[in-house]
Amino acid sequence: MEKKGIDISIVVPLFNEEESLPELNKWIVSALADYGWSYEVILVDDGSKDQSWSVIEKLAHEFEHIRGIKFQRNYGKSAALQKGFEMAQGEVVITMDADLQDSPEEIPSLYKMITAEDYDLVSGWKKKRFDPISKTIPTKLYNWTARRLSGIHLHDFNCGLKAYKRVVVKSIEVYGDMHRYIPVLAKYAGFHKIGEKVVQHQARKYGTTKFGLERFINGPLDLLSVVFMGRFGKKPMHFFGAIGTLLFLIGFGIAGFLIVDKFLHLYDGTPARLLSERAEFFIGLAAMIIGTQFFLAGFIAELIGRTSSTSNNYLIEKQIKSSSNSDD
């Protein structure tokens, strides 16, 4: 008899969450008790300084669904999610935070949206938040910017509670601080059926938030990186070359105008200003130099891309191979 696979993998990145882990596991078990789904809980300890790993070891000894990963040091949430995705075996992968602010009671409905409604990815939307205003206002600004740049109409890109088809998490690479924009990574990997669900948000029960003021700087920079790599990662010349060509033509046009103007003054016998005395000359010269630099940057990026070992890595959804019988 063929062994049934795992239905759900729950990936939980954590850092210094020793108090919340037993309660989180109990909550997950309770939320899934009435369903016949098989599941695993992957706890990724991102270099905690407290007793989080000891708690994970104890839980793994008591519950067969607990699996654990421990980093030697703190690498960040993106690295923790990536390793959790690599370990996940479930047909549906759920991510959630370990601080008890995400409710495991949302898991069944998220699972059904993936399996029954055939979504590739479902992102939670914390419509009612229990966060300070210093966090909610920048979050709204980032979400608005992300919607505009990515074309994905989600209200809460950074919500930790998300559900994915397994093929999605196996097809993307999360690094840096890209966990904020996993829906964008999924879209550029070819997964376009992205949904949203309003989810419960709980007030933090233990400890304090692990994210500092640097997220206000890293967030927009990461978004620009994701959008750029998604649109131009395979064709950087289309970006740099287009800007470089435009700037060079503008500079060349200004230079042409100055030359024609100079000859007209010579033809009329009227005195003409020296080119070095005209601001237009320096503007045109700068435009041509910068345009050339942009063009060369695109050319170099193309050379690097062509020699990269991943330049021809493409995701294949389906493939048909024909077989023919030949007579000897």
pLDDT at 261: 85
The two beta strands, 39-45 and 162-165, are unpaired
Predicted local distance difference test score (pLDDT) of residue 200: 83
pTM: 0.73
- The parent domain of residue 268 ranges over 236-307
Is the pLDDT at 133 greater than 60, yes or no?
A: yes
Looking at the fold, whether 264 and 208 belong to one and the same domain comes out as: no
Say if residue 66 is in the same domain as residue 94: yes
pLDDT at 230 over 70: no
Are 223 and 271 in the same domain?
no
Tell whether 268 and 134 lie within a shared domain.
no
192 in a structural domain: yes
Residue 108 and residue 216 in one domain: yes
Mean pLDDT computed over 121-142: 77
Report pLDDT digits (tens) over 284-313.
Answer: 999 999 999 998 888 887 787 666 555 545
* 135 and 39 in a common domain: yes
Tell me which of 306 and 38 has the higher pLDDT. 38
Give the CA distances from residue 192 to residues 152, 295, 298, in Å, rounded to whole numbers and listed in that order.
9, 32, 29
For residue 165, what are the β-bridge partners?
Answer: 92
**Could you tell me if residue 34 is inside a domain?**
yes
Domain count, the chain: 2
User: Is pLDDT above 50 for 1?
Assistant: no
Mark whether 173 and 269 lie in a shared domain.
no
Q: Look at residue 69 and give its three-state secondary structure.
A: strand
Q: Is residue 219 in some structural domain?
A: yes
318 is a domain residue: no
Question: Is the confidence at residue 212, as pLDDT, over 60?
Answer: no
Confidence of residue 2 (pLDDT cuts 50, 70, 90): very low
**143-176 pLDDT, tens digit each:** 888 888 888 889 888 888 999 999 999 998 888 7
Sheet holding 39-45, edge to edge: 66-70, 39-45, 8-14, 92-95, 162-165, 121-125, 194-198
Q: Establish if 173 belongs to a structural domain.
A: yes
Residue 303 lies in a domain: yes
Which residue is associated with the tokens 């640097």?
Answer: 214
pLDDT number for residue 217 = 67
> How much of the chain, in percent, has pLDDT values that exceed 90?
46
Give the integer Cα–Cα distance in Å for 86 and 80. 10
What pLDDT sits at residue 213?
56
pLDDT score, position 301: 79
Q: Which of 204, 232, 260 is the last residue of a domain?
A: 232
Confidence label for 181 from pLDDT (cuts 50, 70 and 90): confident
The CATH number of residue 36's host domain is: 3.90.550.10
> Residues 121, 174: one domain?
yes
Model pLDDT, residue 38: 95
pLDDT band, very low/low/confident/very high, at 320 (cuts 50, 70, 90):
low
Confidence bin at 37 (pLDDT 50/70/90): very high
Same domain, 241 and 219: no
In angstroms, the first-to-last Cα distance of the chain is: 39
- Asked whether residue 118 falls in the same domain as residue 226, the answer is yes
pLDDT at 84 over 50: yes
Does the pLDDT of residue 241 top 90, yes or no? no
Confidence of residue 6 (pLDDT cuts 50, 70, 90): very high
How far is 317 from 93, CA to CA, in rounded Å?
19
- Kindly report the number of other CB atoms within 10 A of residue 28's CB atom: 23
Asked if residue 121 is part of any domain, the answer here is yes
Query: Do 225 and 256 have their domain in common?
Result: no
Q: Is residue 247 part of a domain?
A: yes
Residue 51 shares a structural domain with residue 190: yes
